[in-house]
């Protein structure tokens, strides 16, 4: 049938670009130097021809010590938003075939996570980030299949701050709901009381992202202070119905901008800062623990240890396709965090997941 043809075409595209063999894929992005940063001393020495090798010059005490890291792809400081998106697009598209996909942005504060995910300026197309491009792509492709499959696309945006979940799509204090779902139908949804907003045009997506950003800003702490210390999760839920067979399937996409991974010196912070640092450490290590447990094919996966892993449970287990976008800064001062970020990424790269279509 034409539906099968669509599936096969997408699978071919998918294999070509990602060749997912049940592993968590890792892409690394090096951000450019920012105005005011010394441009002559990058810690990134060399990026391999095929983009898969990164050499970090650790510049320690005048000595040139070098480390080689190898990932699925490495994007240098001149890489564009479009280039990043092109390389993850097949993964995004597989959501329309019923997969659960999870994309994490990981790295220290200031390494470019928000730039990659949220983009820089909604009014300037080339700076659009992964979030915006993905949602637009999902409903645009769904429209091209409209003669074979009826799709419904809905979006949820939440923030986890100090283990508290906040709905970012609340408008005038009220939550919105997709009429097609009830709580028990929501595959992968563990925040049942947060808003779900249907999208069917680029304008819908723009409106929704603006609401989310506005709600983030009016939170108890100023946006840029707070955003680096909270995890934000944008979830796209896709519901498909094949016209001929009448069968129903669901897919989901989680786009996660993680809190800054830097270690906070506990002797130097107090009060709220200390509490935030502890919550972040705990949730990022819970994520690491879940990943290790999955890698070891352990019978108990400790999803319950943090809100983050609890919410993402269905996106990290057997049916999921996971990509980690690891971000690093080229600055010499960041070398310690850069190396620990890359080591974390190496550990994550070793995990195996069994990707399968969640057909119900």
Examine residue 251 and tell whether it contacts ligand ADP (CB under 6 A).
Answer: no
Residue length of the chain: 360
* C-alpha–C-alpha distance, residues 217 and 224, integer Å: 8
Q: Which is nearer to ligand ADP, 98 or 112 (CB)?
A: 112
* C-alpha–C-alpha distance, residues 255 and 136, integer Å: 14
The H-or-E segment that residue 191 falls in is none
CA end-to-end span of the chain, whole Å? 19
The H-or-E segment that residue 237 falls in is strand 231-242
* C-alpha–C-alpha distance, residues 285 and 71, integer Å: 21
235 is in an annotated binding site: no
Minimal CB distance residue for ligand ADP = 112
And the tokens for 287? 């994520």
Examine residue 127 and tell whether it contacts ligand ADP (CB under 6 A).
Answer: no
Q: Which stretch binds ligand ADP (CB under 6 A): 56-64, 107-115, 172-180, 296-304?
A: 107-115
Examine residue 32 and tell whether it contacts ligand ADP (CB under 6 A).
Answer: yes
Examine residue 111 and tell whether it contacts ligand ADP (CB under 6 A).
Answer: yes
Examine residue 115 and tell whether it contacts ligand ADP (CB under 6 A).
Answer: yes
Q: Which stretch binds ligand ADP (CB under 6 A): 15-23, 27-35, 189-197, 338-346?
A: 27-35
Least separation in angstroms between residue 84's CB and ligand ADP is 9
Positions 184 through 243 that interact with ligand ADP (CB under 6 A): 228
Least separation in angstroms between residue 112's CB and ligand ADP is 3
188 is in an annotated binding site: no
Q: Which is nearer to ligand ADP, 107 or 240 (CB)?
A: 107
- What phi and psi values does residue 222 have, to the nearest 5 degrees? -55, 145
Q: How many CB atoms lie within 10 A of CB 1?
A: 10
Examine residue 100 and tell whether it contacts ligand ADP (CB under 6 A).
Answer: no
* C-alpha–C-alpha distance, residues 223 and 133, integer Å: 23
Residues lying near ligand ADP in the complex (CB under 6 A): 31-32, 34, 107, 109-115, 120, 228, 260, 327
């Amino acid at each position: 049938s034409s539906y099968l043809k669509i599936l096969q075409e997408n699978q071919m595209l998918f294999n070509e670009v990602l060749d997912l063999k049940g592993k968590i894929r890792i892409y690394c992005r090096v951000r450019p130097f920012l105005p005011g940063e010394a441009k002559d001393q990058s810690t990134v020495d060399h990026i391999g021809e095929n983009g898969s090798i990164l050499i970090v010059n650790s510049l320690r005490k005048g000595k040139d010590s070098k480390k080689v890291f190898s990932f699925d792809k490495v994007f240098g400081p001149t890489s564009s938003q479009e280039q990043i998106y092109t390389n993850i697009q097949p993964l995004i598209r597989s959501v329309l075939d019923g997969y659960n996909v999870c994309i994490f942005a990981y790295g220290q504060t200031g390494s470019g996570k928000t730039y990659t995910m949220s983009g820089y300026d909604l009014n300037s197309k080339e700076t659009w980030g992964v979030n915006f491009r993905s949602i637009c792509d999902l409903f645009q492709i769904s429209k091209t299949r409209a003669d074979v499959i009826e799709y419904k696309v809905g979006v949820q945006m939440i923030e986890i701050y100090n283990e508290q979940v906040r709905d970012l799509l609340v408008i005038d204090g009220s939550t919105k709901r997709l009429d097609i779902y009830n709580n028990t139908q929501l595959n992968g949804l563990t925040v049942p009381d947060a808003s779900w907003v249907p999208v069917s045009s680029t304008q819908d997506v723009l409106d929704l992202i603006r609401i989310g950003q506005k709600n983030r800003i009016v939170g108890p702490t100023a946006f840029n202070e707070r955003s680096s210390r909270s995890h934000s999760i944008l979830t796209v839920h896709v519901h498909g119905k094949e016209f001929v067979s009448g069968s129903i399937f669901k897919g989901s996409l989680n786009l996660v901008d993680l809190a800054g991974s830097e270690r906070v010196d506990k002797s130097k912070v107090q009060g709220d800062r200390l509490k935030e640092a502890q919550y972040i450490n705990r949730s990022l290590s819970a994520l690491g623990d879940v990943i290790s447990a999955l890698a070891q094919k352990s019978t108990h996966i400790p999803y319950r240890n943090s809100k983050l892993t609890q919410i993402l449970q269905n996106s990290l287990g057997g049916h999921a396709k996971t990509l980690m976008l690891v971000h690093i800064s080229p600055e010499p001062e960041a070398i310690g965090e850069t190396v620990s970020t890359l080591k974390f990424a190496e550990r994550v790269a070793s995990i195996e997941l069994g990707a399968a279509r969640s057909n119900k």
